[in-house]
Chain A
Amino acid sequence: MPRTSSRARRRLRAWGPGLLLVSPSLILLGIFVYGFLGWNIRVSFTSWRGQTPVYDWVGTRNYTELFDNERFQIDVRNLAVFTVVFIGGSLLLGFLMAMLLEKGVRFEAFFRSVFLFPMAISFIATAIIWRWLLNNGSGPSTAGLNKLFDNIGLGFLFSDWHKTPSSWAIAAIALPAGWALSGYVMALFLAGLRAVPEELKEAARVDGAPERKVFWHVVRPMLLPVLMSAVVILAHISMKTFDLFYAIDQGNLRIDTPALYMWFTTFQPGFFARGATIATLLLFGIAAVIVPYIWWSVRTERRK
């Protein structure tokens, strides 16, 4: 008996202070993140519609209905197109800018800030600016990028942007989104490039490797972790982005996404259960990207 109590006391002494220190944030996270998360999942299994909460149980009915819902199908397709174009574009642009800066440009600090600044602007403000830039009025009401093309003699580039009837219309929104975030990707890559030890590159050069091969065999493998974190960050931003689409054009299904549908169907007509279902699916979509990443990075950390 005294043996076990002394052991418990020892364990408490080891655990206690640390646990006490993190408990406030643990409790707050427990309520405001995981508590509400669980509550949202619970609501997705109810028939709650209208202003009065209903906590019954309808099984997976909301999920099967949602998969048959035409608007949701359009939304998922839109999101897939947007994610691919946005991530691809931002990575490419960010990487190119990082390479240019790495090669030693004059006023590097200035350009670095210029590329990074768009990220400091909120998506709402970005959307208001780009709503005008992506205006598709023609004739005397030509404006924005189309007007610019017109003025520099590239009028044939005229585009309807996100208002084109094509089902790829949402790809146009990757322009403002990429504009906002490629600077951030550049910063990530630049940090990655700078972290490659000069000695390694020197060693490869001494062995007679041309610059191209130095990049491919020495620098590239060391950029892999940076690439992974950039993809994960961009992927989850793409899935949860709401304000950019909302402010650029409302009620245009060509740029509708699950996040928008969730908001519109919940708060105006009062389909709370359906909104919770979309939110739950979004959560699992984001988890599908983030959980493998965390698993992968924890594993590589351990290996070190």
Chain B
Amino acid sequence: MRYSRRGAVALGLAAALIALPACSSSANDDGGSSGSSDTEVEVFSWWAGPGEKEGLEAMIADFAKKNSGIKFNNAAVAGGAGTNAKTVLATRLQAKNPPDSYQVHAGLELASDIQAGYVEDITYLYDQEGWKEKFPKGLVDAITVDGKIYSVPVNIHRSNLLWFNPATLQKAGISAPPKTWDEFLTQAATLKSKNITALSIGPGWTQEHLLENVLLGELGTDKYTGLWNGSTDWKSAEVTATLTKYTKILGFSDLKSAAADWQPALDKVVDGTAAYNVMGDWADGYLKGAKALKFKTGYDVVASPGSEGVYNFLSDSFTLPVGAPHKGAAEKWLVECGSIEGQDAFNPQKGSVPARVDADKSKYTDYLATALAEWQNPATKIVGSLAHGVVANNAFKGEIDTALQIFVQDSDVAKFADAVAKAYAANK
């Protein structure tokens, strides 16, 4: 009897407190405007790996030169191409404890944050700095939501690239990298007979990265774009055939002993145990910087099979969160991100091209020189990346992630297509 009464008291207490967390989020100070308190700025990113880290540091150095009074707090979270960082960020934003600025992929990845009112409209910075003329129109359109802009793109990355080591191809008697995925499969059989893995692969997101470029190479730009806006049917014969081809391509990869991250997957190409790797152009910064290899002799790159003349883009951008503790300093950071000096300091290190059209071309050599020329070529077709948050919102992408993890194991094409089609309908 005594026990149960005490229990009832405890239960009642607990029940009363359940209501508490639900109503505690109303208090939210407005972050304050720029003033004497802006002596530091906390910038949140996932740039902690080789190549990207050096790029960020170069931009920070330029920022410090222009803003000597502001202490820079680099809140980078490592791992998983940003997946770890995004988790940390989501909890911070919900707790109304935002950093002063955070990194996000330009495109639909930011959609849920805009919807939740987590980021400020920074169109005024675009007007103030004249950025609308400095960034290509296509890019500005892609990041404008209902006439407002919420982020500053620092760079443009290309996803559809096939990396290889010329020495390995020579050894295997292959004269040139494949132009189509069918040609790749033919070469893969030759490579297999010579005990070379045709394609190295890494964790889940690199498998998705491969999938988007197989889809792009086989379906072409219009149908590829249609996959993300509902105009291409995932269950059509053409998509089914492509997905079947994807399973064949994976069959020639080292999926069974896949590397833990994208860098070790590239290492296999460098040391010659694997011939090809499909990865974005951040690989250039890694191969040139951390691995100290020479472009064209130590490593080389072509557009992934079937995607010549197409730029499958993704862009890293920075935001101004609502309630940023040091708003004035954060604005200065964003100005740095959009500045010609900032972009030219960052991009050569990171292995990407600047979003600005007036960047100093002489700073971009080797791979980046050709990439910049292609990005600025009006004939180049531009599509957005799936694995890097441009074309699918977080919910749709999350469901594709899971469906793909099942797909790479059971190779059930019909089931995968059906799951993706359903996920699109539920989350568009």
Among B198-217, those with CB < 8 Å from A are 203-205, 207
Q: Which residues of A contact B207 (CB under 8 A)?
A: 251
Among A59-117, those with CB < 8 Å from B are 70-71, 74
Other-chain residue from B90, B195, B409 in contact with A253 (beta carbon distance below 8 A): B409
Q: A35 in the interface, Cβ–Cβ < 8 Å?
A: yes
Other-chain residue from B22, B86, B256, B260 in contact with A267 (beta carbon distance below 8 A): B86
Contact across chains for A39 and B22 when beta carbons are under 8 A apart? yes
Q: Which residues of A contact B395 (CB under 8 A)?
A: 49-50, 269-271
Report the Cα distance A159→B17, complex, angstroms: 52
Among B1-58, those with CB < 8 Å from A are 10, 13-15, 17-18, 20-22, 25
Other-chain residue from A131, A165, A251, A270 in contact with B205 (beta carbon distance below 8 A): A251
Contact across chains for A35 and B273 when beta carbons are under 8 A apart? no
* B3: min CB distance to chain A, Å: 10
Number of A-B contacts (CB under 8 A): 120
Contact across chains for B90 and A160 when beta carbons are under 8 A apart? no
Contact across chains for A268 and B398 when beta carbons are under 8 A apart? yes
Contact across chains for A71 and B398 when beta carbons are under 8 A apart? no
1/0 contact string of A38-57 vs chain B (CB within 8 Å): 11001000000111110100
Q: Which residues of B contact A53 (CB under 8 A)?
A: 22, 25, 94
1/0 contact string of B93-104 vs chain A (CB within 8 Å): 110000000000
Q: A250 in the interface, Cβ–Cβ < 8 Å?
A: yes
In this complex, the member of A35, A70, A163 whose beta carbon has the largest number of chain B beta carbons within 10 angstroms is A35
Q: Which residues of B contact A39 (CB under 8 A)?
A: 18, 21-22
Q: Which residues of A contact B21 (CB under 8 A)?
A: 35-36, 39
Q: B128 in the interface, Cβ–Cβ < 8 Å?
A: no
Contact across chains for A51 and B398 when beta carbons are under 8 A apart? no
Q: A34 in the interface, Cβ–Cβ < 8 Å?
A: yes
Report the Cα distance A165→B256, complex, angstroms: 8
Q: Which residues of A contact B113 (CB under 8 A)?
A: 51
Q: B91 in the interface, Cβ–Cβ < 8 Å?
A: yes
Report the Cα distance A13→B237, complex, angstroms: 81
Q: A288 in the interface, Cβ–Cβ < 8 Å?
A: no
* A154: min CB distance to chain B, Å: 20
Q: Which residues of B contact A271 (CB under 8 A)?
A: 395, 398
Q: B251 in the interface, Cβ–Cβ < 8 Å?
A: no
For B11, give the chain A residue with the smallest CB separation: A34
Q: A137 in the interface, Cβ–Cβ < 8 Å?
A: yes
Q: Which residues of A contact B401 (CB under 8 A)?
A: 251, 264, 268-269
Q: A150 in the interface, Cβ–Cβ < 8 Å?
A: no
1/0 contact string of A2-14 vs chain B (CB within 8 Å): 0000000000000
Q: Which residues of A contact B116 (CB under 8 A)?
A: 50-52
Contact across chains for B409 and A50 when beta carbons are under 8 A apart? no
Contact across chains for A267 and B273 when beta carbons are under 8 A apart? no
Q: A31 in the interface, Cβ–Cβ < 8 Å?
A: yes
* B403: min CB distance to chain A, Å: 9
Q: Which residues of A contact B256 (CB under 8 A)?
A: 136, 160, 163, 165
Q: A243 in the interface, Cβ–Cβ < 8 Å?
A: no
Q: A138 in the interface, Cβ–Cβ < 8 Å?
A: yes
B residues contacting the other copy or chain, number (CB 8 A): 45
Contact across chains for A51 and B115 when beta carbons are under 8 A apart? yes
For A267, give the chain B residue with the smallest CB separation: B87
Q: Which residues of A contact B204 (CB under 8 A)?
A: 250-252
Q: Which residues of A contact B20 (CB under 8 A)?
A: 31, 35
Q: Which residues of A contact B18 (CB under 8 A)?
A: 34-35, 38-39, 42
Contact across chains for B22 and A51 when beta carbons are under 8 A apart? no
Contact across chains for B398 and A270 when beta carbons are under 8 A apart? yes
Other-chain residue from B17, B22, B398, B406 in contact with A70 (beta carbon distance below 8 A): B406
* A51: min CB distance to chain B, Å: 4
Report the Cα distance A27→B256, complex, angstroms: 51
For A137, give the chain B residue with the smallest CB separation: B257
Among B151-189, those with CB < 8 Å from A are none
Contact across chains for A38 and B15 when beta carbons are under 8 A apart? yes
Other-chain residue from B14, B25, B203, B398 in contact with A269 (beta carbon distance below 8 A): B398
Q: Which residues of B contact A256 (CB under 8 A)?
A: 405
Known contacts: A26-B10, A34-B14, A253-B409. The answer to whether A270 contacts B260 by CB under 8 A is no
Q: A140 in the interface, Cβ–Cβ < 8 Å?
A: yes
Q: Which residues of A contact B405 (CB under 8 A)?
A: 71, 251-253, 256
* B378: min CB distance to chain A, Å: 36
Contact across chains for B402 and A71 when beta carbons are under 8 A apart? yes
Q: B380 in the interface, Cβ–Cβ < 8 Å?
A: no
Q: Which residues of A contact B257 (CB under 8 A)?
A: 135-138, 141, 160, 163
Among B111-132, those with CB < 8 Å from A are 112-113, 115-118
Other-chain residue from B17, B93, B397, B402 in contact with A34 (beta carbon distance below 8 A): B17
For A248, give the chain B residue with the smallest CB separation: B260
Q: Could you list 20 A-B pairs, sorted by A, with CB under 8 Å?
A: A30-B14, A31-B17, A34-B10, A35-B17, A39-B18, A49-B395, A51-B94, A51-B115, A51-B116, A52-B115, A71-B405, A71-B406, A163-B258, A252-B204, A256-B405, A264-B401, A268-B87, A268-B401, A269-B394, A271-B395
Write the residues of chain A forming the contact surface with B, with a CB cutoff of 8 angstroms: 26-27, 30-31, 34-36, 38-39, 42, 49-53, 55, 70-71, 74, 131, 135-141, 160, 163, 165, 249-254, 256, 263-265, 267-271
The 5 closest A-B pairs by CB, nearest first: A269-B398, A251-B204, A51-B116, A34-B14, A38-B18
Give 13 new A-B contacts, CB below 8 A, not counting A42-B18, A268-B90.
A39-B21, A50-B115, A50-B395, A136-B257, A140-B273, A163-B256, A163-B257, A251-B207, A264-B401, A269-B397, A269-B401, A270-B90, A270-B394
